[in-house]
Amino acid sequence: MRIDGQESDLHEQGIDRPEWQFSFAGHRLFMNLFAPAYGPGHSKHLPRGDRIVVFAQPEESFDFCGVNPSRHDVKVAIRRRFADAGRPYPGELIDTRVEAHLYVFPYESGGKPVRWWECPPDYYPTEPGRARDPVMRDRP
């Protein structure tokens, strides 16, 4: 039994497959992580501080807002607005539809997907903005 009463395990479900998506209490959620470790030109940037923001967005909200795979024009417009604001995000990575790769973006454009589910239990950054283990392997 898990905290939400559902029987599941991330590793048994093949988390790095396009079919996988995070769910809690039977609801599919898109998870977004925002942090100061991302630079000011990154779409996941937060101003400096000792915090991160994890935003859980119900999957059905995308349809409610008209943002879904059938609306290519909306996807293009959203990406253009982010790029025009100086914070482009990795469209190629998003288009792979591997949800687990979209929750925590790479630090750099074109960087390898962050395999956050492989993060060891004792993980911690050794200094602000820098990681000490291979989970964040594309981070300088």
pLDDT, residue 134, reads: 45
- Residues 104-137 as b/e (b if ≥16 CB within 10 A, e otherwise) read bbbbeeeeebbbbeebeeeeeeeeeeebeeebbe
pLDDT, residue 54, reads: 92
Q: Please name every residue paired with 24 in a beta bridge, in sequence order, or none if there are none.
A: 27
Ranges in the chain, pLDDT < 50 = 1, 126-140
pLDDT, residue 111, reads: 82
Does pTM top 0.85 for this prediction?
A: no
Here the tokens at position 52 are 């991160």
